Amino acid sequence: MQDADVPGWWRSLGLPGLLDVHVHLLPPRMMEKVRHQFDTAGPLIGRPWPLHYRGDEDELVARLRTLGVRRFSALPYAHRPVIAEYLNDWAADLAQRVPDVLGSATLFPEDGVEKYVARRLEAGVRVFKVHVQVGHFELTDPLLGEAWGLIEDAAVPTVIHVNSGPVANEHTGPEPMRALLRRHPRLVAVLAHMGAPEYADFLDIAERHETVRLDTTMAFTDFFEEMAAFPRELLPRLAALGDRVLLGSDFPNIPYPYAHQLDSLERLGLGPEWLRRVCWSNAAELFGL
């Protein structure tokens, strides 16, 4: 399947389009730095990663619309102190300018994090993003305690990259996520990348916590299968979680056409109803769309 085939694909499933919970749109200078990391296979990337999509914000949004992605996140992520609110201001402005965007925000363990998280919740933010691998921090850092409580009480989803792929550090893996959920068991967490490469552990976390979701970002694609193949014996468990799996792509930071993510999901053989839920209904219900 090629990108030109994508609208026909989701129409054949009887869907109104696609809903992607894992898209990254960033301020131009930060996007340049992120692309440099991918272009040079930087230490957080760990392997050649030839980006398939480039262009500015307008071009990327236009591409998503052409594909039929009706709603999508922006998912800024703070990699150091102080920068979170700059990113949050930018993302709030983006959501005002581009109605397709789910209002997105980030947080970082720093003084005052609970105050700006409270402001973003009051302003109606729809999804948070934290990137433990890039930010190099503990999910249970005491500075984040009150902020997590506010997000938990508001039941606002948070996309969390705490899995060890593509490059692990001492803060990644399933145990930090389990520790966070022991403190905040009602947190609406969306576990990125299906938890690759610790698929079984992150499936277990989702099975044990009814508010936890998994996103498909890059999972099952040829590129990820080369790094960490999804064990096929886990497919029955994945099928059973069909109402809590969400379409994610990592667009535009992917080394293949967007269509390949969808093709990879179809190749799992879990059926059209599973695909309908993953590509639209589950996220539509989660975000009240």
pLDDT (tens digit per residue) in 8-44: 999 999 999 999 999 999 999 999 999 999 999 878 7
Over range 110-118, report the average pLDDT: 98
Q: Which of 199, 246, 257 is nearest to 63 (CA)?
A: 257
Which tens digits make up the pLDDT trace of 73-100?
999 999 999 999 999 999 999 999 999 9
Domain ranges of the chain: 3-286
Which tens digits make up the pLDDT trace of 173-188?
999 999 999 999 999 9
| CATH fold of 3-286 | TIM Barrel (3.20.20)
The pLDDT of residue 41 is 84
